[in-house]
Every structure is written in structure tokens, then in C-alpha cells.
Structure 1
């Protein structure tokens, strides 16, 4: 299926199911969001990476206008719905300030590998422990998907985008697993280095052992 959607390019990656809070202040996006709210229509957030609007993004629906300012600016709560692929950018729309795109919606296989999910969740929690970050998820473990944990795994923007256009849940989990296997030893070594630096210059009780 293909259709036309208004777009709001942003330097982030939004995922299906994700709640995204936005402050809308530019005139073109104030117009776009006001129309989407009035007509109950979704809009697209294509990722912008290295100042380039990318091929893939996520369709989002406005769930709530949290605050409407006197100048038309808005604080809105949105929810990601599904991933789209941009087939054609439409820069000029009659009587509109904003741009749009003709998009398609790739099939997305959400079949889960329980073993992979458990490995990824274990890795994410291990990373958080190393970094002394305390995070809780809004769902119980058996309901968590790759999209729910991707932003918590220490991915770069480019890596988050690379995961966005993987269309099998098993692929996405494997992607996160490989990333965590790479980054956890690096973070652990950095923490050990920090501890060594902290000890430098302090009196320590040292022993050469039983020589």
C-alpha cells in the first residue's frame, strides 16, 4: 500500500509503539500538526542523519495536545505506529507550508525469539549497571520488543536508523545483541580505567603476595 503523508523530518529515530513528546514551534509544523489533530490524521517522522532526510521513518499519531500556547505553539504527545519508506518527497503542496511524501509500508515480521530477547535484556541491564543508570520499562519482560529497548542500548543515531529498516524482530534483536557484545567490554574497561585514575595519588594498602 502507498499513500501520501505530511512529514516532520527530525534528527531522531522514532520507533513503532514509542511515545514521543514534541514541542512544535515552526509555522509550517504548527499548521501541519493543527490539521492532523483536527482531522485525526497521522504524520511521518523521517529520520535526518548527517543533515540528510533518510529513506525510512515512522508514522506517528497525535495522542494528546498537552499544551496550546497563545502563539500557536504546541506541546504534543505522539505514538509511533509503523515504519514507512519514502518513495518520493513532495516539497511543495498547494496552500501548505509543510512538505509531504509518497510512502509505502514494508511488511514487518514481529515473531520473537525468547532466547534472543532474554539475552538482549540481560545485556541492556548489564550495560546500565556498568554506567550506574537506573531504568525501568513500562512493560513486563515477556512483552518487550526490540523497539522498546533500542533507545536504552547506547546506539548511535546511525545505528538506531540502521535498526529501523530491519523488518524481522529476530534480526533487530540480533542487531542489539551484537551491539551490546561489542560495547559492554568497552564500557567495563572505561569504568576500570576511571577507578585506576581515582586511585592515583592516594595511599593504598598493597601487597606483593607471598613471595
Structure 2
């Protein structure tokens, strides 16, 4: 087990993900200043459904972008390892911020193999929405993590994905999600087209009775 200073947020950070943060609360100004001074990492556990769910991601600060006169900061961070909290302290003794003992979770299936069904469903979703999304990255990151924020998952669903250690299983979770939402998205897009046609001159095929 290891000890991490903790910065709970209502979001999910995945390994290798870049996250920009604006630091303004006194407890987190203290936490970030200590991380900068000691070159240490901190953890972002997910706060979901009004509770600390238990899993999170260790992050390190890659850049202090700006420090304001009142102590606020803009920082850039990157996700490292997933952890599970085994002992939560709020606050840490003699500190303003929370912390806890954590166990780091080893990821499996780290080879970059993309389920062709998943890729097809992702492309179908973007075609329906008529948008282009770049899910390629120059550095290694499992495909499930690259697209998790880009296919309409809720925070709760992203959190559940974070708790799955196998890349193959994570991709199957996303296949199930997309198969569920694609018919809904298709109907919504069809409804938008019908609404857009309202008031326009329409041509209909002749009907045989």
C-alpha cells in the first residue's frame, strides 16, 4: 500500500489522460504547493452519486501554467496509475486536504488490440451525429481510455469502466453501451430532420390503394 494526498472530483481521469485544473480552494492550494515543492504525485478519486466511490487515478503535475497573486494556480496534469482507497482520512492530520492509503491496480491486456465491432460502432455513432472526433494519440493509451469521454458515457459509467482491469473487457463494456444508445441516437437524429422539414414544401411518393 502507498499513501496519496487526495483531490476528489466529480469526474473520471484515465491513465495517460491530460487534465487541466484551476486550483482555488485553500486545501488544494496547500496540496498542490506541496506536490510542486516535493515533486510528488496526488490522487483524483471519483466523487459520484454524492459519495466517494473508492477508485481513482494517480496523477502528476506536468506544468504550473500560471500562479495568481492570491495563490490560485492553473496546472496541467497527466494520469498515471489506477488505485483503490483502503483507508480514507479527511483531513490528513495537520493538513487541510484529504488523503489515504491506496492499493494500485495492475492493468491487463496492454497490447493495442482494437475490437473491430467496437470500432465500427464508434464510427457509426460519429456518422449519425455528423461529427469528427480524433481518438488517435501519439503515445500509448488503451483504446477504451481514448474514447471513454467521447461516446456519451455518464460519470457513473466512466467510473465503472475505471474499475475494470482488462482492456478486452473494457472494450466489451463499450460495445454493450453503444449497442444500447445507437438506436436512441438514430431516432433523435431522425426527429431533428423531421422537425427541420416542418413548414417546407414536401414531395411524397404516390400511394397505390
Q: Same fold (TM over 0.5)?
A: yes
The size of the alignment, in residue pairs, is 209
> 1:121 matched to which residue of 2?
119
Q: Which consecutive segments of 4 or more residues in structure 1 shift more than 6 A?
A: 140-143
RMSD: 2.0
- 2:176 alignment partner, one of 155, 175, 178: 178
Matched, 1:194 2:192: yes
Deviations 1:127-156 (A, max 9, x none): 122222222134269965211111111101
The two structures have a TM-score, normalised by structure 1, of: 0.92
Q: 1:98: how far off?
A: 0.6
Deviations 1:3-33 (A, max 9, x none): 1110000000000010000000000000100
Q: Give unpaired runs (5+ residues) of structure 1.
A: none
Are residue 25 (structure 1) and residue 24 (structure 2) matched?
yes
Matches within 5 A, 1:24-103: 24-103=23-102
Deviates more, 1:142-151 or 1:197-206: 142-151
Whole-angstrom distance in 2 between the partners of 1:60 and 1:124: 28
Cα distance change, pair 141–23 in 1 and its aligned pair in 2 (3 A): closer
Please report how far the alpha carbon of residue 210 of structure 1 lies from its aligned counterpart in structure 2 after TM superposition. Answer: 6.3
| Structure 2 counterpart of 1:5 | 4
**In 1, distance between residues paired with 2:160 and 2:44?**
15
My pick for the range that moved more, 67-76 or 194-203, is 194-203
- Measured in 2, the distance between the counterparts of 1:99 and 1:7 equals 5
Which moved further from structure 2: 154-163 or 105-114? 105-114
With 147-156 and 5-14 compared, the bigger mean Cα shift is at 147-156
1:120 shift after superposition? 2.2
* TM-score, normalised relative to structure 2: 0.92
Deviations 1:81-102 (A, max 9, x none): 0100010101132321111011
Secondary structure at the counterpart of residue 96 of structure 2: coil
For the 8 Å contact 2:3–2:100, the answer to whether it is kept is yes
Does the aligned pair in 2 maintain the 1:146–1:173 contact within 8 Å?
yes
Aligned position for 1:165:
163
CA contact (8 A) 2:43 2:56 kept: yes
